[in-house]
């Protein structure tokens, strides 16, 4: 049995690596093309592009790992059946429960991998990606500091600066923002300062006007100000200036916040606790994403047309499992005190897998025959 389990487990790991690599490449290329266009258009180097795409890999791997694990199990069991190896094992008296041992080991190992990614590596990579986006945003903003030239960092923004003093003071600032399709905003100021903040660069305007033109009614509103602050980074690169999100904190950091009774910025106590529980329940559910494929295929009846029907059935069962998970997540978001509902998909998956295998093995029949 040790050699048999090792043989099955080795094939599962090898096929998982193959499917994971293929799916990551497909997903990565799809995202990389859009990211490449945006970064190169902003004047960034290829190294920045590679750094950004590398930092998104942990998240990509966590997303595709359950699918790759499911595909690996379905493929391996299908090959064992078509080669007659599964028939030999079953003829030798091994039940579906006994054959499932290497699948369980593989499923638990996959869940451990996703657990590490979700709770540690993804928050670290997302926090680093967020920091690099802020730095890129500041670089884009610095490109606006060109005297005597009208600049358009995007189709909706026009910026003009008359001159920069030796003290770094900006004089004669003009900014037109038409990103809102219903309104055109024009800022003008006698002087301004560019300052840093945790949420990106800010432009502090001194002694100026805001002209707001309503494009639907053609009405113009003019507001005078002594000082006014604009999140210039958000205008130049909107995706790069949001404050540090809860996804940028590792689970240990969130647990420390919960223990101290505090919360990360721009979030609540419930969202903090919900995030920790979700990061635990999600990886554990991948165990049953794998086992549901094994249970359906190993109990399928022989057919000369192959196992395409059981494969479709396994995919349908996986869809149902993910649908139940989605329902539970939505319910917990609405009913904050029902965090235990997050773990119901685990129970549903366990009952589904157990019922399929037990119905096939029928251990109660064997026990009765043994008693007789």
Domain boundaries, the chain: 2-138+246-371, 145-240
Instruction: Please classify residue 183 by burial: count the beta carbons closer than 10 Å to its beta carbon, then call 0-12 exposed, 13-18 middle and 19+ buried.
Output: middle
Q: What mean pLDDT, rounded, does the chain reach?
A: 82
State residue 369's pLDDT score.
Answer: 47
- How does residue 370 score in pLDDT terms, banded at 50, 70 and 90? very low
Distance CA 146, CA 170 (A): 10
State residue 157's pLDDT score.
Answer: 81
**Of 16-25, 49-58, 269-278, which range is least confident?**
49-58
**Chain-centre distance of CA 369, in angstroms?**
52
**Residue for token pair 């005190």:** 337
Distance CA 138, CA 116 (A): 32
208 phi and psi, to 5 degrees? -155, -165
Distance CA 342, CA 333 (A): 10
The two tokens of residue 74 are 């379905």
For 93, 131, 248, the CA distances from 128, given in Å and listed in that order, are: 54, 5, 8
For 81, 126, 163, 284, the CA distances from 281, given in Å and listed in that order, are: 32, 20, 57, 5
> Which tens digit of pLDDT belongs to each residue from 173-223?
888 888 888 888 899 998 888 777 666 677 889 999 999 988 888 888 999
Distance CA 277, CA 107 (A): 20
Distance CA 172, CA 162 (A): 5
| Residue 342: count of CB within 10 angstroms of its CB | 20
pTM assigned to the model: 0.73
**Chain-centre distance of CA 323, in angstroms?**
18
**Residue for token pair 């113009």:** 220
191 phi and psi, to 5 degrees? -155, 165
> Which tens digit of pLDDT belongs to each residue from 233-244?
666 655 454 556
Give, rounded to a whole angstrom, the gap between the first and last alpha carbons of the chain: 29
The total number of residues shown for the chain amounts to 372
pLDDT, average across residues 69-92? 86
State residue 282's pLDDT score.
Answer: 92
Check residues 192 and 365 and name the one with the higher pLDDT.
192
**Residue for token pair 């003008």:** 188
């Amino acid at each position: 049995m040790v050699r048999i389990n090792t043989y099955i487990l080795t094939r599962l790991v090898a096929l998982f690596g193959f499917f994971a690599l293929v799916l990551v490449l497909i997903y990565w290329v799809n995202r990389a093309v859009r990211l490449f266009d945006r970064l190169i258009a902003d004047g960034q180097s290829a190294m920045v592009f590679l750094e950004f795409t590398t930092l998104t890999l942990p998240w990509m791997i966590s997303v595709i790992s359950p699918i790759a694990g499911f595909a690996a199990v379905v493929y391996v069991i299908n090959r064992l059946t078509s080669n007659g190896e599964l028939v030999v094992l079953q003829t030798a008296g091994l039940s579906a429960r006994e054959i499932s041992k290497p699948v369980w080991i593989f499923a638990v190992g996959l869940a451990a991998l996703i657990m590490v990614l979700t709770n540690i590596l993804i928050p670290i990579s997302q926090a680093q990606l967020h920091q690099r986006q802020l730095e890129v945003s500041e670089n884009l903003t610095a490109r606006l500091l060109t005297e005597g030239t009208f600049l358009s960092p995007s189709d909706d923004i026009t910026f003009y600066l008359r001159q920069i003093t030796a003290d770094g003071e900006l004089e004669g600032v003009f900014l037109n923002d038409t990103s809102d399709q219903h309104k055109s905003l024009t800022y003008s100021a006698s002087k301004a300062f560019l300052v840093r903040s945790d949420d990106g660069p800010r432009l502090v305007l001194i002694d100026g006007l805001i002209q707001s033109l309503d494009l639907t009614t053609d009405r113009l509103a003019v507001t005078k100000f002594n000082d006014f602050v604009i999140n210039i980074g958000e205008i130049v690169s909107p995706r790069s200036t949001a404050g540090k999100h809860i996804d940028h904190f590792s689970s240990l950091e969130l647990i420390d916040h919960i223990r101290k009774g505090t919360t990360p910025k721009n979030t609540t106590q419930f969202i903090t606790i919900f995030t920790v529980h979700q990061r635990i329940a999600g990886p554990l559910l991948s165990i049953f994403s794998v086992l549901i494929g094994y249970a359906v295929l190993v109990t399928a009846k022989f057919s000369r047309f192959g196992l395409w029907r059981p494969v479709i059935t396994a995919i349908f069962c996986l869809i149902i499992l993910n649908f139940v998970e989605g329902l539970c997540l939505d319910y917990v978001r609405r009913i904050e005190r029902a965090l235990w509902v997050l773990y119901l998909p685990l129970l549903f998956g366990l009952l589904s897998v157990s019922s399929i295998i037990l119905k096939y093995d029928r251990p109660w029949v064997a026990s009765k025959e043994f008693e007789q």
